[in-house]
Amino acid sequence: TVGALAVRAAVAPPRADPEPATWFSVVMPRTQCTLGRRRGVPLPRAPSLRGATPSGPIDIATVSASSRSSATNGRIELIRCAGDVDAETTNGHIRAELDEVTPGKSLRLETTNGGITVSVPRAVAARVDASTTNGSVKTDLPITTTEFKRTSLRGTINGGGSADLRLRTTNGSIHIEAR
């Protein structure tokens, strides 16, 4: 459905595909979202993007906007993204490759059963709050720490800035990579 300010679509899987339908909504400029298995839907580049699926992966690429992703049984991948990012899944890993971390915006990645890998530019200035129950936390970037244990890391990258990176998993490891 196309309205004056929004695009809303439901993608129903073919009958042979066991995945339930995946939904997303976009509020307007042009990008590519892949929903479920091998489904690509060109959308306007968006100041706001929301996607959810009860089963199956969510792949979002080249979005410089506010994005919200939620899956129950599936991984989430965010490639070449920027802006305010919020992604959560119950059973699956999360991978986020950020072109930039926008000052004043937050990045929240949470999963229960899966690891988290986030790739950020070396020059990022952000506060970091990362923790896992059954796993470890590793970083490629120098972080001025307020807390550092095998299962948690809190501190700042490049002086902190106004961006927040909040990373949580119960059963999995967290890796902060430098781009």
pTM above 0.85, yes or no: no
The Cα 82–Cα 71 span in angstroms is: 20
- Predicted confidence band of residue 33 (pLDDT cuts 50, 70, 90): very low
The Cα 52–Cα 165 span in angstroms is: 21
Q: Which tens digit of pLDDT belongs to each residue from 35-74?
A: 444 445 555 444 567 778 888 888 887 777 778 888 889 9
Higher pLDDT, 67 or 139: 139
CA count, 13 A, side-chain hemisphere, 30:
0
Residue 38: which residues within 8 A CB-CB, separation 6 or more? none
C-alpha dist (Å) from residue 156 to 57, 69, 121, 148, 160: 31, 26, 14, 12, 4
The Cα 52–Cα 22 span in angstroms is: 6
Sign of CA dihedral 11, 15, 19, 21: positive
| Beta pairing, strands 31-35 & 58-61 | antiparallel
What is the model's pLDDT at position 2?
Answer: 33
Number of C-beta neighbours around residue 107 at 10 A: 26
The mean pLDDT of 89-110, rounded to a whole number, is 91
